[in-house]
């Protein structure tokens, strides 16, 4: 990673008497690029407030950073989408959980759907705090510990949901393409262990986000950011760049590939049948649609953004990255429909009457 060096001047001091101080900063890579600077007084609502030793102050290294933090997309569009997702997703997932409570001992799939609903609810809870943050002009007022927990919960449950949907895809694939192997499996035990493993991976992925500082003061804008501006070129945060790149591959891109392959095989297998599996195909296609609409843009932009940072040190994709992550959260509204469609398809039977061939129709 190549570092650029530049000398910056900024004024420090109090009581209106500023002293010009010169210091060398090492430009590096970040969510938005920033450099740690000496603490400056924070101006909020036209008044000067005392600054505690934490959070540390960062210098903005790009005009696009301030542009995004002040933009309508950041302060209005994204939080409005988050509030819509929360308003619709919370009651829908709670209703699904209440329904699953009576089926979890009888149906092995209910364990996975229950895990998915719980993951979605944690994600929706974190969206409440993120919407508050964006609506207040990207100013975090809840302290460093809360920022770490919300950030870990937000990204951790995105990966957790993607992996759970991939597990559901594998289960459906085995049931359709390898029915005899599927019948021999201890389905409830296997499903329980798989769900436990997914949550174990979730726990491992959120630990780094809980260990590093996430809030920093932007003295130029008079606000405290949460996760939006990180000094990833410093030793305390440098590992996050490669760690997040690895998480993107394993947590989003791999589940995407697994889901596409599984459902492509399922649909091909059912289409070759002489019976009409329309309901089952529709239910199977819904998972693919969820990944296509929600997880594919987020996964690809995650990957391209972190590759761009590591190779070129530029952050031009960060705005699109945030919008894609916002759209990805829509899956928390779509997942309850997934359970409804899957339940209907599981209870339905193929028509006994074979489909008419093309020659018969002509």
pLDDT in tens, 174-185: 988 888 888 888
Q: How many domains does the chain have?
A: 1
Residue 117 domain flag? yes
Residue 353 domain flag? no
Closest CA relative to residue 153, chosen from 210, 211, 94, 236 = 210
Look at the alpha carbons of 197, 205, 317, 304 in this order and tell me if their dihedral is positive or negative. negative
Q: What's residue 270's pLDDT?
A: 79
Residue 23 domain flag? no
The mean pLDDT value for 38-57 works out to 46
* Residue ranges in the chain assigned as alpha helix (H): 63-69, 72, 78-100, 109-135, 144-177, 179-184, 187-211, 238-248, 254-271, 278-290, 296-312, 318-328, 331-347, 358-361
End-to-end CA distance of the chain: 66
Q: What's residue 254's pLDDT?
A: 92
Residue 33 domain flag? no
**Pairing mode of beta strands 42-44, 34-37:** unpaired
Residue 143 domain flag? yes
Residue 242 domain flag? yes
Can you give the CATH number for the domain in which 257 is found? 1.20.1070.10
Residue 136 domain flag? yes
The mean pLDDT value for 24-45 works out to 40
Q: Which domain holds residue 270?
A: 59-343
Residue 1 has pLDDT above 80, yes or no: no
Residue 14 domain flag? no
pLDDT band at 221 (very low <50, low <70, confident <90, very high): confident
- In a 13 Å sphere around the CA of 308, the CA atoms on its Cβ side amount to 17
Place of tokens 């997914």: 198
Whether this model's pTM surpasses 0.85:
no
Q: What's residue 68's pLDDT?
A: 78
Of 312 and 187, which is predicted with more confidence?
Answer: 187
pLDDT in tens, 123-160: 999 999 999 999 999 999 999 999 999 999 999 998 99
């Amino acid at each position: 990673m190549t570092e650029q060096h530049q000398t910056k001047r900024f004024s420090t001091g109090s009581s209106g008497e500023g002293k010009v101080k010169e210091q060398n900063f090492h430009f590096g890579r970040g969510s938005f690029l920033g450099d740690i600077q000496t603490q400056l007084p924070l101006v909020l609502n036209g008044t000067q407030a005392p600054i505690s030793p934490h959070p540390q102050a960062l210098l903005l290294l790009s005009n696009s950073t301030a542009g995004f933090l002040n933009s309508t997309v950041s302060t209005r569009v994204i939080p409005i989408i988050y509030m819509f997702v929360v308003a619709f997703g919370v009651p829908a997932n709670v209703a699904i959980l209440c329904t699953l409570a009576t089926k979890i001992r009888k149906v092995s799939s209910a364990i996975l759907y229950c895990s998915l609903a719980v993951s979605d609810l944690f994600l929706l809870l974190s969206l409440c705090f993120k919407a508050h943050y964006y609506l207040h002009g990207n100013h975090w007022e809840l302290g460093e510990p809360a920022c770490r927990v919300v950030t870990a919960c937000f990204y951790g449950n995105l990966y957790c949901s993607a992996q759970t949907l991939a597990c559901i895809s594998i289960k459906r694939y085995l049931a359709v393409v390898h029915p005899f192997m599927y019948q021999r499996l201890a389905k409830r035990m296997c499903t329980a262990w798989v769900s436990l493993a997914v949550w174990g991976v979730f726990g491992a992925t959120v630990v780094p986000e809980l260990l590093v500082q996430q809030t920093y003061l932007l003295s130029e804008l008079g606000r405290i950011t949460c996760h939006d501006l990180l000094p990833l070129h410093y030793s305390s945060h440098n590992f996050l760049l490669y760690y997040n790149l690895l998480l993107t591959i394993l947590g989003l891109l791999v589940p995407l590939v697994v889901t596409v392959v599984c459902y492509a095989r399922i649909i091909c297998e059912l289409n070759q049948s002489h019976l009409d599996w329309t309901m089952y195909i529709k239910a199977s296609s819904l998972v693919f649609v969820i990944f296509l609409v929600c997880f594919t843009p987020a996964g690809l932009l995650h990957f391209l953004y972190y590759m761009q940072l590591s190779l070129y040190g530029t952050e031009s994709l960060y705005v699109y990255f945030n919008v894609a992550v916002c759209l990805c959260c829509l899956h928390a509204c779509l997942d309850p429909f997934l359970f409804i469609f899957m339940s209907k398809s599981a209870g339905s039977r193929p028509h006994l009457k074979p489909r008419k061939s093309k020659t018969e129709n002509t």
